[in-house]
Amino acid sequence: MQQRRFGADGSVSAVGLGCMSFGGFYGAASEDESLRTLARALELGVDFWDTANVYGDGVSETVIGKFLAEDRGRRARVTLATKFAIRRTPDGKRGFDNSAAHMRESLDASLKRLGVDRVDLYYVHRVDRRIPIEDTVGELARLVEAGKIGAIGLSEVAPDTLRRAHAVHPIAAVQSEYSLWTRNPELGLLQACAETGALFVAFSPLGRGYFSGLLQDVEGFEDFFRHDNPRFQGLNWRRNRDRLEPWLALAKAWAVTPATLAVAWTLAKHPGLVAIPGTRTAGHLEDCAAAADFALDAARLAEIERVLPVGYAAGERYPDAHWAGIEKY
């Protein structure tokens, strides 16, 4: 598996594993299948695993913890990332809390579920606008000094926030959605990551499953996320679905799966980037991991962008309620 730089002297696999679906975000998840997927990840050299305390209210972390506990030698082979900040308000709504107390409480709970005494990367999942990012990063730096986290990450932030945070303590990674139909990071965030030395972590490189080519009828979605997502609704979906035919034809012509091609495009866009496709099945992970060995030359990249040009997607990438805590730029 191709490696990419992480931190001052480390590296992680170019294709990582997003573990949100272990918590049932895209429909019911089987613990046994999730465990098989983690085992296959190690076999493939996929060593960068990304989870969060809110994925299934701790289910994703618990599954990973169970897998690591089965063989204590596994922990050393994995770069483990998790997140904090999202919480439910007393009235049941989603809110954000970057306070030191919530940060430490969340970390202790995550470490317990994961069965480890340290995570390699701890993300601010969403920025709490009540608290300056400098204060949040200062508190995280104390956790680095205490040995409970190895590095600090940010999620869904603007370039200026990254620069301000980095001035307090080195930011090892910045996570944001990035794919052929979500190209906002090209408007400054990728550049800011290169400037600060932060690894850019591209989540949803398959467009929530869109680029796999397997989604045709979205009416029967079990999961709430795509059911409420504007890109999978009504006229937006019909327009987006119609763009899939030439995309699938490219993958067929080049003898790769559509999933492999989508992840390969993401990896080709920036040398300081890793992609973390989310899956709960070993077979799908194999398709995604194959992208690290499928090089795209300039001619093929141009052909892909002719078929799916910048800005082609119909609809916003999130419903209105999900934009809180995400910094637009």
> Confidence class of residue 226 from pLDDT cuts 50, 70 and 90?
low
pLDDT above 70: residue 185: yes
Segments of the chain assigned E as strands: 3-6, 10-13, 17-18, 48-50, 79-84, 86-88, 94-96, 121-124, 152-155, 173-177, 199-203, 273-276
Residue 48 confidence (pLDDT): 98
| Helix, strand, or coil (residue 53) | coil
Residues 6+ apart with CB under 8 A from 58: 23, 109, 113
| Helix, strand, or coil (residue 103) | helix
Residue 321 confidence (pLDDT): 74
Query: Could you give the CA distance from residue 75 to residue 47 in angstroms, rounded to a whole number?
Result: 10
21 versus 24: the higher-pLDDT residue is: 21
Residue 130 confidence (pLDDT): 94
pLDDT above 80: residue 232: yes
Q: Has 329 been annotated as catalytic?
A: no
Measure Cα distances from 193 to 4, 166, 175, 263 in Å. 14, 10, 10, 20
Angle, helices 298-307/258-268, rounded to nearest 10 degrees: 110
Q: What is the mean pLDDT of residues 7-15?
A: 93
pTM listed for this prediction: 0.93
pLDDT tens digit sequence for 116-161: 999 999 999 999 999 999 999 999 999 999 999 999 999 999 999 9
Contact 103, 96 (CB under 8 A): no
217 versus 255: the higher-pLDDT residue is: 255
Nearest to 13 by CA among 43, 52, 54: 43
Residue 246 confidence (pLDDT): 94
| Helix, strand, or coil (residue 78) | coil
Name the average pLDDT for the chain.
Answer: 92
Please report, as a single letter, which amino acid is at residue 50.
Answer: D
The one catalytic residue among 55, 123, 210, 318: 55
Contact 178, 147 (CB under 8 A): no
Residue 28 confidence (pLDDT): 72
Query: Could you give the CA distance from residue 92 to residue 257 in angstroms, rounded to a whole number?
Result: 41
pLDDT tens digit sequence for 39-73: 999 999 999 999 999 998 899 999 999 999 999 89
Map out the domains of the chain with their CATH numbers.
3-210+258-296 (3.20.20.100)
- At 65, list the tokens: 């913890």
pLDDT tens digit sequence for 66-98: 999 999 899 999 999 999 999 877 777 788 999
pLDDT above 70: residue 261: yes
324 versus 204: the higher-pLDDT residue is: 204
> Confidence class of residue 26 from pLDDT cuts 50, 70 and 90?
low
- At 172, list the tokens: 């090892």
> Confidence class of residue 323 from pLDDT cuts 50, 70 and 90?
confident
222 versus 43: the higher-pLDDT residue is: 43
Residue 9 confidence (pLDDT): 87
pLDDT above 90: residue 19: yes
Q: What is the mean pLDDT of residues 180-193?
A: 96
Tell me the DSSP string of 207-256.
TTTGGGT-----TT--SHHHHH-GGGSHHHHHHHHHTHHHHHHHHHHTTS
Residues 6+ apart with CB under 8 A from 42: 74, 77, 78
pLDDT above 60: residue 223: no
Query: Could you give the CA distance from residue 78 to residue 17 in angstroms, rounded to a whole number?
Result: 11
Residue 194 confidence (pLDDT): 96
Query: Could you give the CA distance from residue 213 to residue 119 in angstroms, rounded to a whole number?
Result: 35
